[in-house]
Amino acid sequence: MKVLVTGGLGFIGSHTVVELQNEGFEVVIIDDCSNSSEKVLEGITAITGKSPLFEKLDLKEKSLVEDFFKRHHDIEGVIHFAASKAVGESVDKPLLYYENNIGTLVYLLKELSKKDRSSFIFSSSCTVYGQADKMPITEDAPVKEAESPYGNTKQMGEEIIRDTCKVTPNLNAIALRYFNPMGAHPSAEIGELPIGIPQNLVPFITQTGVGLREELSVFGDDYPTRDGTCVRDYIYVVDLAKAHVVALQRLLAKKNKANYEVFNVGTGKGSTVLEVIKSFEKVSGKKLKYKIVARRPGDITAAYADTTLANEELGWKSQYTLDEAMKSAWDWEQKIRN
């Protein structure tokens, strides 16, 4: 069965392609390589023994998207990762984010709406909850006003899909709200490749560990949490990738209860920034240089998932611990720096 993975050379996309191929799906990747490299294909092939089809294509080119679906009329499922994701950049360049993340989504949904039947998985984010009032966060927690154009594209993206599904019975969609993805494939053949200075905690830690960054700045230790640093739900990227496969299988097997569904994808466990640092020190055997600095504007105190719905409906549960995920991130970092 043929599946399109947009952004399939990216961090979460590439790990999902591996899991799809392991499950026997025939994968076609579209990626514009704006934030990824064609070399990732070699890693995917090394792990799975199979090279996915790949087309370098910019989803903003509407006519090329139409042409692509004419040539690949047998695509039955689409997993849509391709999007811009830097929060700060989105504040400076809102139109770029609305064009990249919303414009392309509309083109894709138009193409899928033409089909007799199609299955669509959307990369959403726990960012839609903002600072939720209750922990752990359930899917019915209210969506809060977005802190950035990036966050807004995830909220709007979900609304666009929901509204389209209402009038398109042949379109079946699931939005997966990711908590904080981290780690790399255990083979260290693929992993996260941040461009420039990493904005996210885990790649900043591993780059500091390997000597690429002088020290980590911990953004605030005066939050009302057990050690004063922010709490997040760090989900291993391979677990997250597997959630996409089971979500797609649910749609293909017509087990979905409604033609638009939303699931949290996290571990259900919150870790503080200092606990993540401790995990790094444990698995690497290295002391991490860090200092406490002021809070980062826009950061929320805590976010971790209630994963009951995904456990019960998708039959999915995260398998790996924070230490195991951290070990994979550290192995990957050392490999790419050598």
Q: Which positions touch ligand UD1 (CB under 6 A)?
A: 87, 125, 127, 151, 180, 199-201, 204, 216-219, 230, 232, 273, 296, 298-299
Catalytic residue status for 150: yes
Please give the residue whose beta carbon sits closest to ligand UD1 in the complex.
Answer: 230
3-state secondary structure 45-102: HHHHCCCCEEEECCCCCHHHHHHHHHHCCCEEEEEECCCCCCHHHHHHCHHHHHHHHH
Beta-bridge mates of residue 25:
none
Which of 228/313 has CB closer to ligand UD1? 228
Which of 137/201 has CB closer to ligand UD1? 201
Which of 74/145 has CB closer to ligand UD1? 145
Q: Which of 19, 242, 5, 33 is nearest to 120 (CA)?
A: 5
Which of 225/249 has CB closer to ligand UD1? 225
Indicate which residue of 150, 178, 234, 236 is catalytic. 150
**How many angstroms separate the CA atoms of 229 and 190, rounded?**
30
Q: Give 159-220 as a DSSP string.
A: HHHHHHHHH-TTEEEEEEEE-EEE---TTSSS-----SS--SHHHHHHHHHTTSSS-EEEE-
Closest distance of CB 151 from ligand UD1, Å: 6
Closest distance of CB 218 from ligand UD1, Å: 4
Closest distance of CB 334 from ligand UD1, Å: 20
Supply 95's token pair.
Answer: 């139109």
Closest distance of CB 318 from ligand UD1, Å: 16
Point out the residues that are catalytic: 150
